[in-house]
A and B are shown apart, each in its own frame.
Chain A
Amino acid sequence: MPVFDELLLIVMLTSLLLGALLSYVLHKKPRLSIFVGFTFANLACLAGLVLGPAILLSKHSLDVILPWSVFGTSLQFSLNPLAAFFITVISVLSLSVSVFSYGYASAYIGKQNVGVLGLFYNLFIFSMLALISSSNTFMFLFFWEVMSLVSYFLVVFEHQDYEVRRAGFIYIVMTHIGTAFIAIAFFLLYKETGSYDFAQYSSIAHNLSPTLKSVIFILVTLGFGTKAGIVPLHIWLPKAHPAAPSNVSALMSGVMLKTAIYGFIRIAMDVLGVGSVWWGVLILIIGAVSAVLGVMYALMEHDIKRLLAYHSVENIGIILLGIGAALVFKSYGYNNLALIGLTAGLFHVLNHAVFKGLLFLGAGAVHYATHTRNIEEMGGLLKRMPWTGFFFLIGSLAISGIPPFNGFASEWLTFQALLALGSAKLGATMNIIGPALGAALALTGALAAACFVKAFGIMFLAIPRSVNAEKAKEVPRTMLVGMGLLALLCLIFGVMPFIVINLLSPVTYSLIGIETIPLLGGYSWLNVPPIVGQGVAVIKPNSISPPMVLAALVLSVLLISLFIKKFAKFSMVRIDETWNCGTDLTSEMEYSATSFSNPIRIMFRAIFQPTRETKKEFVLKPYFTSRIKSQGAIKPFFEDHLYRPLLKFFLKFADKVTALQSGSIHLYLGYIFATLVALLIFAR
C-alpha cells in the first residue's frame, strides 16, 4: 500500500517537526512542554515502527518526491529495504526513550529550559530519520550536518558545566573532521558519475577504476568511522556521551552511531559494488581492535556513562566484524557466506540499539535517583530500585552475549561468519585471520561480561557506599515502562531471532542478492547452512535453537534453586568481640570497582600502562600512619601518542604561518607581486 506508506512517512516527519516547534513554544509551561514534545516524538516513532516493517514485508521501496529541487537535483525521500530496516531500528529505540523521557526530563524543570530539550530532541530524531530516507548525497549531507549540530546542542544541554562545554567542543571538532571525509567522498562520486543520486550511483559506480573505488572506500571508512567511533577515532565518545542527558546518550549511542553504519553499508556495499579483498580485511581489523580496546577501556571506567560509551566502541567493533566478513566473502564472490556476516552485523545493529539504549536509560534512572554517575558511590540499589536493577541486569546479560538474550544471537552469527572465514577456501591468510578474529571476539565477550559483573555488582549489590545511594528511590513509572519495553525486546529477539532475520531478508536480497530465509533458519532455529560455493568451499551446517537454550536455562535454574533450598544452609550468626571478625560489615569493607578491575589492569598493563601514586600522612614517625591516599590512573594512549603530537604539529605549523601576517604593507604588496610574477612565468 504505497499511499498508506507515504502517509506514514509524512506523519512521522511532520509530527517530529511539530513536536519540536510546540515544545519550544510552550517552554514557559515546562510540564506541558515535556508532555507535548515527547508525545509527538512517540507518535512519530509509532508511525516509523509501522512504516519500516511494512516496507520490509512488502519488499518494495518507497519513493516520495518533494516538490522542490536544489542544484538540479529533485529532493526525494527514498526508502529502500536497508533504509527501512534502519528506520525500524531508530523507531524502536526512540519510542522507548521517548516514553522514558516523560519522567526523566521532569528532573530538569526549574534547572534548564526543557522547551529547548524538546526542540532539539525532536529535531535530532527527525534529522536521523530524514538522513536515512534521503535519496541523494546532497540531502544526506544536509541532514547529516543537521544531526551533528543538533546532537552537539544536546551534548552541551547542561552548558553551565565547563566539562560539558569541553566535551561538546571535542565532539563537534571530531564530527566535522568525519564530515569532511564524507563530503570529499561524495564529491568524488559526483565528479565521476555526474549525479547526486544514490540509486544512479549503484549502476555507474560499479565500473569505476579500482584505485578510485579504494580511495572512496578509505574516505568513507574514515568519515563514517569517526561518527561510529572506531579506534582510534573514538575519543569523542567517552566524553560526549556522559555529558549529554541520559535519554540523549541512549539515542546517540543506540542509533546515531548506527546512521554511520548505514552510510558505510550504503556506500561500501551498495554503491561501490564488489571491492578488493583488503577492504574487508581492513574493516575486520578495525572491528577487532575497536572491540577489544573498547571493552578494555570500559573495564577501567568508574563513571557508568563513560563505561557504556566505551562499550559502544566495542559493539561498533562487533558490528564491523560481521560486515567486514561479509565484505571479504563478497569480494571472493561467496555471496551466500557473505549473508551470514551481513545478517550478523545488521542484527547486531538492532540488538546494540536495544540493549545499549536500555543500559543508558538504566544509567539515567540511577543518576536520576542518586545524582551521581560514579559507580563507587552507589551500591545496594537493587533493594531500593528493584525494577531498574532488574532491567539493568537484563541489559547487562544481553550486552555480554549471554543467552537467552539478543546479544547472544547476533554474536553467535558473527562467530559463525568469522569461523567460516577460517574454513572456506580463501587462502591461508584468511584461514588464519578468521579464527584469530574469532578469538578476539571471544575475548571481547568475556571482558564485557567481566565489566558488567563489575558494573552491576558495584552499583546494585551489597551495602550503599554513599548517603545518596542510601536515599535512592525507585524512579517514576514512565521511566520504568521505557526500560521495560527494551528489556522485553532483549528477550524476544534473543529467543525468537527469526523475527529480525525475516525482516532482514529483503535487505540482504537488495545488497547481495540472497534472502536470509530459509537459509539462516526457521521459527525456532538459527542455522548456518551447509554451503557449497564454487564446488569446493564446504561449510559444515551448524545450528542452534534459542528457544531450546531458553528451556535448558530455565530448567537448570530451577534445578539449582531447588538444590540450594534443599541442601545449602545459610548461617547468619554474628556475635561480636574477641578478635572482632564478627563485626558488622560496613561499606568501607566492600570490594570496590577499582579493586575488581585490578587483576585485568595488571594482566594488560602493557596496554593500560597504569600509574599509581600512594601518599602516606603520619604522626611523628612513619610507623604511625594516620592516613593513606592512593591514586591510580591509566595512560590515555591515543590522546598521548596520536592526538597530542598532531595537535602540537598543527599549533607549530600555525605559528609558522603567522609569520606571513607580519603587518608590513611592503610584505603584503610583495605577496601580490610574487603571485603576479609567478603567474606571468608559469601560467602563460
Chain B
Amino acid sequence: MGMQNYQGFVNFLITLLLVTTFLIILARRLNSVIMAVIIQGLLLVALSATLGWTTGIHEMYIAAVLTLVVKVLIIPVVLIKAVNIVAIKREVESFLNMKMTLLFAVCLVFISYLATGQVIGKGSGLLHGALPVAVSLMLIGLFLMINLRFPIMQIVGLFVMENGIFLAGIGTTIGMPLVIELGIFMDIMVGVLIMGVLVFRINQSFDIIDRKNLRNLRG
C-alpha cells in the first residue's frame, strides 16, 4: 500500500487536531475542555496507528497504545478527579475575552504557517501538513497557559503543547525514536500527577486555587 492513498485521510486527521485545539479554546466548562482533550488524544492515536499501517513501522503501534493509555485514559481521569475535588466554579476563566482569544489563536496559526513555510517546500508530503499544525499546537498551548486562570487549565495548555511536539515528531521523522517519546510521555504524566497532588493540597490548605493569589508571594 502506498502512502498516497492515505495522504488525504492523514491530512484530515491533522486538520481535526487543529479543530480540537480550537474546541479546547472555545469550551466554556471544565468538563467540555476535558472532553476535547480526550478527543485530541484519540485523534493522535488514530494518526499514529494509520502511519504505522501505511509505513509498516511497527513501533508506531506501540506509540499509539501508549498515547491511548496516557493521553486518553490516565490524564483525563486525573484531570476529572482534580476538577471534582476542587472546582466550585466549573466555568473556564480567562484574561482575554472569547473573541480576542479566538483572534489570537487564529493569528498564531497564521504565524506558524508563515514560519514553517520557510522551512519546508511544497510537495514534501506529510511534513507539509503536519509541521505547521504542530507548531500551531505548541504556540496555542503556551498561549492557553498564559491566558487561562485556573491552574488545571495550565496542565491542559502543557498537554496541547506536548501534542504539538508529538505531531511534529511523527510528522517529520515518521516516528521519533521510541525512547524519546517514552521520555516525553513520562514527563507529561509526572507533570499531571504532580499537578493533581498540588491542586489537592492547595485546596486543602486554602480552599482557593485561583493562581491570582500566588501573586501575594512576590517580594
Residues on A facing B (Cβ under 8 Å): 661-666, 669-670, 672-673, 676-677, 680-681, 684
**Residues A677 and B214 in contact, CB atoms below 8 Å apart:** no
Question: Complex: how many Å from CA A147 to CA B217?
Answer: 43
Contact mask for chain B residues 95-127; partner A; CB cutoff 8 A; 1 contact, 0 none: 100000000000010011011001000000000
Looking at the complex, which one of B108, B143, B215 makes contact with A663 (CB distance below 8 Å)? B215
In the complex, the answer to whether B112 meets A666 with C-beta atoms within 8 Å is: no
Does B81 lie at the interface of the complex (its beta carbon under 8 Å from any beta carbon of A)? no
B108 proximity list for chain A (CB < 8 A) = 677
Q: Report chain B residues within 8 Å CB of A663.
A: 214-215, 217-218
Taking a contact as CB atoms under 8 Å apart, the answer to whether A676 and B139 are in contact is yes
Assembly CA distance A680 to B115 (angstroms):
6
A664 contact set on B, CB distance < 8 A: 215
B139 lies within 8 A of A666 (CB): no
- Interface assignment of B85: CB less than 8 Å from any CB of chain A: no
Complex Cα–Cα for A135 and B145 (A): 56
Q: Which residues of A lie under 8 Å from residue B90 when comparing CB positions?
A: none
Complex contacts, B115 vs chain A, CB 8 Å: 680-681, 684
- B201 on the A face (CB < 8 A): no
Contact status B146-A666, CB under 8 Å: yes
A-B contact count (CB 8 A): 38
Contact A677 B146 (CB under 8 A): no
Q: Tell whether, in the assembled complex, residue B142 and residue A680 are in contact, meaning their CB atoms are under 8 Å apart.
A: no
Q: List 9 A-B contacts (CB under 8 A).
A: A661-B218, A662-B218, A663-B214, A665-B211, A666-B211, A669-B142, A669-B146, A673-B146, A677-B111
B212's closest neighbor in chain A, by CB?
Answer: A664
The answer to whether residues A677 and B215 also contact, given A666-B95, A684-B115, A684-B118 and a CB cut-off of 8 A, is no
Using an 8 Å CB-CB cutoff, how does the interface string of B136-156 with A read, 1 for contact, 0 for none? 000100110111000000000
Chain B residues with CB under 8 Å of A673's CB are 139, 142-143, 146
Main secondary structure of the interface of A (DSSP, over half): helix
Contact, CB under 8 Å: B214 / A672: no
Alpha-carbon gap, A669 to B141, bound state (A):
11
Q: Which residue of A is nearest B151, CB measured?
A: A665
Tell me the bound Cα distance from A684 to B114 in angstroms.
9
Contacts of B111 in A (CB 8 A): 677, 680-681
Q: Is the CB of B214 within 8 A of A665?
A: yes
Docked CA distance A676–B211 (Å): 24
- Please report the C-alpha to C-alpha distance between residue A661 and residue B142 in the assembled complex, in whole angstroms: 20
Q: A662-B218, A676-B139, A676-B142 are in contact. List 8 more A-B contacts (CB 8 A).
A: A663-B215, A664-B215, A665-B214, A666-B211, A673-B139, A677-B108, A680-B114, A684-B115
B contact face: mostly helix, strand, loop, or mixed: helix
A663 CB, nearest partner CB in chain B, Å: 3
When C-beta atoms are compared, the residue in chain A nearest to B149 turns out to be: A666
Chain B residues in 8 Å Cβ range of A662? 215, 218
Task: List the A side residues contacting B211 at CB < 8 Å.
Answer: 665-666
Closest to A661 in B: B218
Given the complex of chains A and B, what is the CA–CA distance between A664 and B149 in angstroms? 11
Query: In the complex, which of the residues B95, B114, B135, B146 has the most CB atoms of chain A within 10 Å of its own CB atom?
Result: B146
Q: Tell which of B112, B135, B142, B218 touches A672, judged by Cβ atoms closer than 8 Å.
A: B142
Kindly list chain A residues whose C-beta atoms are within 8 Å of the C-beta of B147. Answer: 666
Docked CA distance A672–B139 (Å): 11
Q: Name the residue in A666, A673, A676 with the highest tally of chain B Cβ atoms < 10 Å from its Cβ.
A: A666
Give every chain A residue within 8 A of B214 (Cβ-Cβ): 663, 665
- Could you tell me which residues of chain B, from 162 to 219, have a CB within 8 Å of some CB in chain A? 211, 214-215, 217-218
User: How far, in Å, is B8 (CB) from chain A's closest CB?
Assistant: 29
Complex: how many Å from CA A681 to CA B218?
A: 33
* B145 smallest CB distance to A (angstroms): 6
* Alpha-carbon distance A538/B145, docked complex (angstroms): 81
Verify B217–A680 contact, CB threshold 8 A.
no
Bound: A665/B218 CA distance, A: 10
The reply to whether B139 and A670 form a contact with Cβ atoms under 8 Å apart is no
The 3 closest A-B pairs by CB, nearest first: A663-B218, A680-B115, A669-B146
Cα separation A664 to B213 with both chains bound (whole Å): 9
Closest A residue to B115 by beta carbon equals: A680
A669 to B111 alpha-carbon distance, docked (Å): 19
Q: Which residues of B contact A666 (CB under 8 A)?
A: 95, 146-147, 211
Contact assessment for B146 and A681 in the assembled complex, using a CB-CB cutoff below 8 Å: no
Chain B proximity of A551: nearest CB distance (Å) = 76
Taken together as a complex, chains A and B put the C-alpha atoms of A670 and B211 apart, in Å, by 15
Rounded to whole angstroms, the CA-CA distance of A670 and B142 in the bound complex is 9
Q: When the two chains form their complex, are residues A669 and B215 in contact, meaning their CB atoms are under 8 A apart?
A: no
A670 B215 Cβ-Cβ under 8 A: no
Within the assembled complex, what's the spacing in Å between the Cα atoms of A663 and B139?
23
Find out whether the CB atom of A680 lies under 8 angstroms from the CB atom of B112. Answer: yes
Please state if A677 and B114 are interface contacts (CB–CB under 8 Å). Answer: no
CB nearest to B138 among chain A residues: A676
Q: How far is the CB of B85 from chain A (nearest CB, A)?
A: 22
Q: Which residue of chain B is the closest to A681 with respect to CB atoms?
A: B111
A677, B139: Cβ atoms closer than 8 Å = yes
Q: Which residue, of A662, A665, A676, has the highest number of chain B Cβ atoms within 10 A?
A: A665
A670:B146 contact, CB within 8 angstroms: yes
Bound CA span A664–B215, Å: 6
Which residue on A lies nearest to B147, using beta carbons? A666
* Chain B residues within 8 Å of A676, by CB: 139, 142
CA distance A676 to B118 in the complex (A): 16
Per the bound structure, the CA–CA distance linking A661 and B214 in Å amounts to 14
In Å, the complex CA distance between A673 and B95 comes to 15
**Closest approach, in angstroms, between the C-beta of A620 and any C-beta of chain B?**
59
Q: Which residues of B contact A680 (CB under 8 A)?
A: 111-112, 114-115, 135
Q: How far is the CA of A673 from the CA of B211 in the complex (A)?
A: 19
Give complex CA distance A663, B118 in Å.
37
In the assembled complex, how far is the CB of residue B141 from the closest CB belonging to chain A, in whole angstroms? 10
> What residues of A have a CB within 8 angstroms of the CB of B112 in the complex?
680
Q: Which residues of A contact B95 (CB under 8 A)?
A: 666
**Chain B, Cβ-Cβ closest to A677:** B111
Distance between B132 CB and nearest chain A CB, rounded to angstroms: 12
CA A677 – CA B107 in complex, angstroms?
Answer: 10
